[in-house]
Amino acid sequence: MDGLLFGSWMNQQGIDSKRQFEYVQTGWLERIARGVYKIAGSHPTLYSAVSCYNTQLNKQCIVGARSAIELRGYSHYVPMGKPIAFLFTDNSHKLPEWLLQGQWDMTVRHQTTSFLGEDLLGVETQMVGSRLLLVSSPERAMLEWLNMPSINSSLLDVYYVMEMLSTLRPDLVQQLLVRCTSVKAKRLFMYMAEKSGFSWVDDIDKTKIDFGSGRRMIVPKGKYIKQYDMTIPSDLAEYE
């Protein structure tokens, strides 16, 4: 077993605290944190830990942004070094320190946000290995990615991925853009989609989307895009 076992969940299965302690004492379980255990000698992956966290504790930790895109098979390069897992929860739920600071096979990048609402629109279940995860759809993941504060200097890399997304579902895109509260993400998303020349773009009713007002300086120096009143990196604007 490569996952985690939570004390509260084991109690529900009839394994009380006394027996859990005995399992630790006899070397069958190893304690990770208070109420969190693994089978002795096992090496749970981050994604298996997140899956157990969700299913056993009824949580909603989402794999999103670039990580979700990569799990769907859309990536134009192989990342160097330890892979990064972008995890999202809503503003009222923070991840525990043992999950954020654990020695996992991936580096955790966690963000609390509700800029797409709190009802998990565009979040789907996906099997990763033998574990079921909550994973953002490509439609949602692109908006999550574009909303990240550190994204501005690597927008051309994001666009390379957007060029692959010719089969996005316009109904879902429309719903997400209508409820999205990030003006930057909405403007960049539509700019990239239109630049890619996708047929589904014609089905988006932009009159129902609030693109905000005022100029957005995505980068301090770059190319001004009048249609969306924003300044973006020159390499993105000039890429063909």
Amino acid 22 reads E
DSSP 185-219: HHHHHHHHHHHHT-GGGGG--GGGS---SS-EESS
Structure confidence at residue 190 (pLDDT)? 98
Q: Is residue 21 part of a domain?
A: no
pLDDT averaged per 10 residues in sequence order, the chain, 240 residues: 91 96 96 96 96 97 96 76 93 93 95 92 94 97 92 84 96 98 97 96 97 93 95 93
Comparing CA positions, the residue from 36, 48, 90, 85 lying closest to residue 65 is 85
Structure confidence at residue 42 (pLDDT)? 93
Amino acid 51 reads S
> How is the beta sheet containing 107-112 ordered, strand by strand?
107-112, 84-89, 62-63, 131-136, 123-128
Structure confidence at residue 231 (pLDDT)? 95
Q: Is residue 37 part of a domain?
A: no
Q: Is residue 168 part of a domain?
A: yes
Helix residue spans in 62-147 (DSSP H) = 65-71, 97-100, 138-147
Q: Is residue 71 part of a domain?
A: yes
Name the token pair of 103: 């020695």
Name the token pair of 82: 């330890």
Range of the domain at 53: 45-238
**Count of domains for the chain:** 1
The rounded radius of gyration (Å) of the Cα atoms in the chain is: 21
Q: Is residue 33 part of a domain?
A: no
Under DSSP, the state recorded for 64 is -
pTM of the model: 0.93
